[in-house]
């Protein structure tokens, strides 16, 4: 065990820092998805052109083929430099692309991966349905096979960035009468295809970042199935493991900035003299430190064994709840200024309201606890 970096890693960190210092845009990323889309695409393109997209993706598809430790270093420096949130590219970069790398055919990879890295193709995730949220195996959207096509009918909900996306990772039931985890397929869906209607939904923060998606006799070529017809559950689980696995690396640095800002603010307005507040701040500073330690431990595990330990859900659960504690502290320190929040603004209250997503999206805190109890501790399955 050691926390030091090799000379190569130190050089790489320096490179990241220099580039980010010179290139992080001065203007802020617009908040609402529809306003931000051009910004998100342009920024992704700039990252790609300079070699910072897909640091540990295979070189054949436009990545750099570097180590996961270098990927972590990049994300750390990225957050430290206050570089813009990846925004609409989140799905493609963080789980759509990685799922393709693991499960897709050569043609599928060759077509889609470079487009994701260049910011030319925005992806969204069509898993959840009105009747299939936590119970993802309850998926009802169906794809009837007709010749070499699937004819799709049904609807999806909470699809982040659907209204600005080009492609969708769509999980549907391709075997009529199949139950639960069986008979599902993971397909690449052209979200501009005829028969698709997208209706944006407003969040309590005032932003419009996700949408409802309706499918009415939408035709998708069978060639777009990833990982084989009927194997959708397995492919979807790999998507979820990427979704739950990568986000926290950037969170870790963001949270360490947040806690320092909170301590500084509490010192400035004198609230740190309240012992309960001081104690909570102290506690959260310790917890933020532990998030980094957990991240390093998990990454070390990947490097040593080739796969993450069963602790991804532990990190996901802990960081999501810690993030919410930090956001609650930030509004506590604001006092009655919280009242002045205007719909859609970008401040501590906006972060606080948006932050409710952390213990819902990608599997709720309750579902993560089930996973920890069952997979880590071996308790009997409840579902």
Q: Is 106 a catalytic residue?
A: no
Place of tokens 């998708």: 220
Determine, following the binding rule CB under 8 A, whether residue 318 of this chain makes contact with another protein: yes
- Residue 82 interacts with, from ligand FAD, another protein, none (CB under 5-8 Å by kind): none
Residues 6+ positions from 233 with CB-CB distance below 8 Å: 137, 181, 182, 184
Angle between the N-to-C axes of helices 312-334 and 232-268, in degrees from 0 to 180, rounded to the nearest 10: 30
- Give the residue, chosen from 108, 346, 364, 374, that forms a contact with ligand FAD under the rule CB under 6 A: 364
Q: For the window 273-312, what string marks contact with another protein as x by the rule CB under 8 A?
A: --x--xx-xxx-xxx-xx-xxx-xx-xxx-xx------x-
> Which string of b and e fits 61-88 if b means at least 16 CB within 10 Å?
bbbbebbbbbbbbbbbbbbebebbebbb
| CA–CA gap between residue 326 and residue 304 (Å, rounded) | 33
Q: Burial, 352: exposed, middle or buried (Cβ in 10 Å; 0-12, 13-18, 19+)?
A: buried
Determine, following the binding rule CB under 6 A, whether residue 158 of this chain makes contact with ligand FAD: yes
Q: Give the 3-state secondary structure of residue 82.
A: coil
Site for ligand FAD in 222-281 (CB under 6 A): none
| CA–CA gap between residue 304 and residue 331 (Å, rounded) | 41
Determine, following the binding rule CB under 8 A, whether residue 272 of this chain makes contact with another protein: yes
**How many residues sit close enough to another protein to count as binding (CB under 8 A)?**
48
Determine, following the binding rule CB under 8 A, whether residue 10 of this chain makes contact with another protein: no
* Nearest CB to ligand FAD, comparing residues 222 and 357: 357
Q: How far separated are the first and last CA of the chain, in Å rounded?
A: 38
* Nearest CB to another protein, comparing residues 1 and 204: 1
- Give the residue, chosen from 14, 293, 366, 376, that forms a contact with ligand FAD under the rule CB under 6 A: 366
Work out the number of other CB atoms within 10 angstroms of the CB of residue 197. 12
- Residue 372 interacts with, from ligand FAD, another protein, none (CB under 5-8 Å by kind): another protein
- Residue 311 interacts with, from ligand FAD, another protein, none (CB under 5-8 Å by kind): another protein
Q: Six-digit token pair at 137?
A: 């195996």
Determine, following the binding rule CB under 6 A, whether residue 357 of this chain makes contact with ligand FAD: yes
- Enzyme catalytic residues: 243
Which residues make up the interface to ligand FAD (CB under 6 A)? 124-128, 133-134, 158-160, 210, 357, 360-364, 366-367, 383
């Amino acid at each position: 065990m050691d926390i030091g970096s090799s000379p190569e890693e130190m050089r790489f960190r320096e490179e990241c820092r220099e580039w980010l210092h010179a290139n992080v845009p001065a203007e802020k990323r617009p908040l609402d998805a529809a306003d931000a889309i051009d910004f998100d695409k342009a920024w992704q393109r700039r990252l790609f052109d300079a070699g910072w997209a897909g640091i540990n993706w295979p070189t054949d598809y436009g990545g750099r083929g570097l180590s996961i430790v270098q990927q972590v270093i990049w994300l750390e420096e990225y957050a430290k430099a206050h570089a813009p949130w990846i925004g609409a590219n989140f799905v493609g970069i963080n789980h759509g692309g990685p799922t393709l790398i693991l499960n897709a055919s050569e043609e599928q990879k060759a077509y889609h991966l470079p487009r994701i890295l260049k910011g030319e193709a925005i992806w969204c995730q069509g898993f959840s349905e009105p009747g299939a949220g936590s119970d993802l195996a309850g998926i009802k959207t169906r794809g009837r096979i007709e010749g070499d096509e699937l004819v799709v009918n049904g609807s999806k909900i909470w699809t982040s960035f659907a209204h600005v996306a080009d492609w969708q990772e769509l999980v549907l039931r391709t075997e009529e009468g199949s139950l639960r985890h069986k008979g599902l397929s993971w397909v690449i869906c052209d979200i501009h295809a005829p028969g698709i209607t997208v209706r944006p939904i407003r969040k309590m923060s005032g932003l419009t970042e996700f949408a409802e998606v309706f499918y009415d006799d939408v035709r998708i070529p069978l060639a777009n199935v990833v990982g084989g017809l009927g194997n959708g559950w397995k492919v979807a689980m790999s998507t979820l493991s990427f979704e739950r696995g990568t986000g926290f690396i950037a969170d870790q640095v963001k949270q360490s900035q947040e806690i320092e800002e909170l301590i500084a603010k509490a010192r400035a307005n004198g609230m740190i003299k309240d012992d309960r507040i001081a104690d909570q701040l102290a506690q959260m500073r310790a917890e933020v430190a532990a998030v980094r330690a957990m991240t390093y431990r998990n990454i070390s595990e990947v490097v040593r064994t080739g796969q993450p330990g069963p602790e991804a859900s532990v990190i996901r659960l802990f960081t999501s709840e810690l993030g919410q504690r930090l956001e609650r502290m930030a509004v506590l320190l604001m006092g009655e200024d919280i009242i002045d929040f205007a719909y859609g603004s970008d401040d501590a209250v906006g972060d606080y309201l948006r932050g409710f997503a952390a213990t819902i999206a990608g599997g709720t805190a309750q579902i993560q606890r089930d996973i920890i109890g069952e997979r880590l501790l071996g308790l009997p399955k409840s579902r």
